[in-house]
Chains A and B, each alone.
Chain A
């Protein structure tokens, strides 16, 4: 495998090894979430928000954020991640009174409506301008249909929107 190939990401080195971690941080549950789920955005090592499950975004106007989902992406269970997945993640989140246990700062206005434009495009129609929405998507976990059906952060189990999982 050439260095060029590695840099281009065309050849994947097989994952190898096991590490054992002790993480006393009370947000350990959130870090496990970050390490296991898809999100429209994630952060770089320095903490900068960058596209992840979405390949790009643009503000169509100051109340409409358009997200383009990455082409050909799949969840760990092999099912497709598409615009409907982002729409579902948004709908699952928005019906909770407060979906983010660390605080309310990541809450997106509950009056926001998600519109699937095509297979890869979702538009968020915000009732008021919120330029911080992009960063808030860090906490919008995009999961497979099976996850929402069987677990759903405890929503399916508890029939409660109080954030248990």
Chain B
């Protein structure tokens, strides 16, 4: 069961907050008459187990056979555990997901309304170091908000975007020019990105000679932070790290850029940007896919130039998978139609 709560983001537009109430298991049985014969289904049954924590599930897929076959959303810190295991393999996919910081452009006591300050934040980040230390190398540096995947190559190709370089001197210069700060910067992060938040805080603090206070949001705090942000209520952070994914790769701004910068964007923290709205309106007006790609590229470049977010990384999505399961990962969602088992799998032996 999914319960939803509407939150007005702008005018009549609204977003939804979800809470789940999962049953212990959900079973899906194959439809043997499904029309797409090439695609599948190849499995007779899929059982979703909701009675295990992620940590328990990783232990079971690594150390046992028949209890758990696939664990999604494996954290990078557990990747080596899976690689060393006897029964599981690690499957990674370059997903259409962006880990970025929402910048509160209305923060009191900080110059985040000033483009120079927002660029300073981005120039202070050592993305390669962050990816090495927080992701074990299993992420790609983010330039703009379009994650680099094979399908988004074209979106990023014209005047190809590059990540902000790590330039602490320039960052400090811009930060001072924007007025600096008389108070600490409050960096909040969703629980899953606590390690990233502490590394980002260290990098910002060092480069900008700034005190950074980190708060990690857990459980109901995450939901409340999302609600306040979506409703454009006062916030108790200056930068909020979160991950946003996309259900398709054709037009990334529909789910990514719009969320962070759009008028009705769930994560917009600051005034509506008329230039962004015009660019997005132009994108919506295109029915040609080629023109949509060019329009999406223009939006990505604008969002980057204006530093409308703290661009960090595009994390790979990791799966721990039983060695006798042929799992086909998708860049956008979790699909099982193409997945099959080999003759050594416990369920067919």
Interface contact B48-A48, CB-CB below 8 Å: no
Specify which of A19, A36, A47, A105 is in contact with B43 (CB 8 Å cutoff): A19
> Which residues of B in the span 144-159 have a Cβ within 8 Å of any Cβ on A?
149-151
Interface contact B250-A49, CB-CB below 8 Å: yes
Interface contact B2-A29, CB-CB below 8 Å: yes
Q: What is the size, in residues, of chain B's interface with A at 8 Å between Cβ atoms?
A: 91
B264 vs chain A, min Cβ distance (A): 6
A109 vs chain B, min Cβ distance (A): 10
Interface core residue of B14, B250, B264 (most chain A CB under 10 Å):
B250
Interface contact B43-A15, CB-CB below 8 Å: yes
* Interface status of A127 (Cβ within 8 A of chain B): no
* Interface status of A87 (Cβ within 8 A of chain B): no
> Which residues of A in the span 89-141 have a Cβ within 8 Å of any Cβ on B?
97-98, 100-106, 129-132, 134-135, 138-139
Interface contact B20-A25, CB-CB below 8 Å: no
Specify which of B6, B13, B28, B329 is in contact with A162 (CB 8 Å cutoff): B6
* Interface status of B1 (Cβ within 8 A of chain A): yes
Contacts of A78 in B (CB 8 A): 33
Interface contact A163-B16, CB-CB below 8 Å: yes
Contacts of A43 in B (CB 8 A): 247-249, 330, 332-333
Across the A-B interface, how many residue pairs have beta carbons closer than 8 Å? 226
Contacts of B6 in A (CB 8 A): 97-98, 162-163
Query: With A105-B258, A132-B284, A163-B4 in contact, is A23–B73 under 8 Å at CB?
Result: yes
Specify which of B14, B44, B96 is in contact with A47 (CB 8 Å cutoff): B96
Specify which of B44, B333, B338 is in contact with A16 (CB 8 Å cutoff): B44
> Which residues of B in the span 14-51 have a Cβ within 8 Å of any Cβ on A?
14-16, 18, 20, 22, 26, 28, 30-38, 40-50
Interface contact A131-B44, CB-CB below 8 Å: no
> Which residues of A in the span 1-57 have a Cβ within 8 Å of any Cβ on B?
7, 9-10, 12-32, 34-36, 43, 45-49, 52
* Interface status of B182 (Cβ within 8 A of chain A): no
* Interface status of B347 (Cβ within 8 A of chain A): yes
* Interface status of B178 (Cβ within 8 A of chain A): no
Contacts of A147 in B (CB 8 A): none
* Interface status of B331 (Cβ within 8 A of chain A): yes
Contacts of B283 in A (CB 8 A): 131-132
* Interface status of B300 (Cβ within 8 A of chain A): no
Interface contact B48-A131, CB-CB below 8 Å: no
Interface contact A36-B13, CB-CB below 8 Å: no
Contacts of A15 in B (CB 8 A): 30, 32, 40-44
Contact with B along A67-79 (1 / 0, CB 8 A): 0001011101010
B46 vs chain A, min Cβ distance (A): 6
> Which residue on A lies nearest to B74, using beta carbons?
A24
Selected A-B contacts with CB under 8 Å, 19 pairs: A9-B37, A12-B37, A17-B340, A17-B347, A21-B47, A21-B72, A26-B20, A43-B247, A46-B151, A47-B96, A47-B151, A48-B151, A74-B35, A76-B31, A103-B16, A129-B287, A131-B287, A135-B250, A162-B4
| Chain A residues with a Cβ under 8 A of chain B | 7, 9-10, 12-32, 34-36, 43, 45-49, 52, 59, 62, 70, 72-74, 76, 78, 97-98, 100-106, 129-132, 134-135, 138-139, 162-165
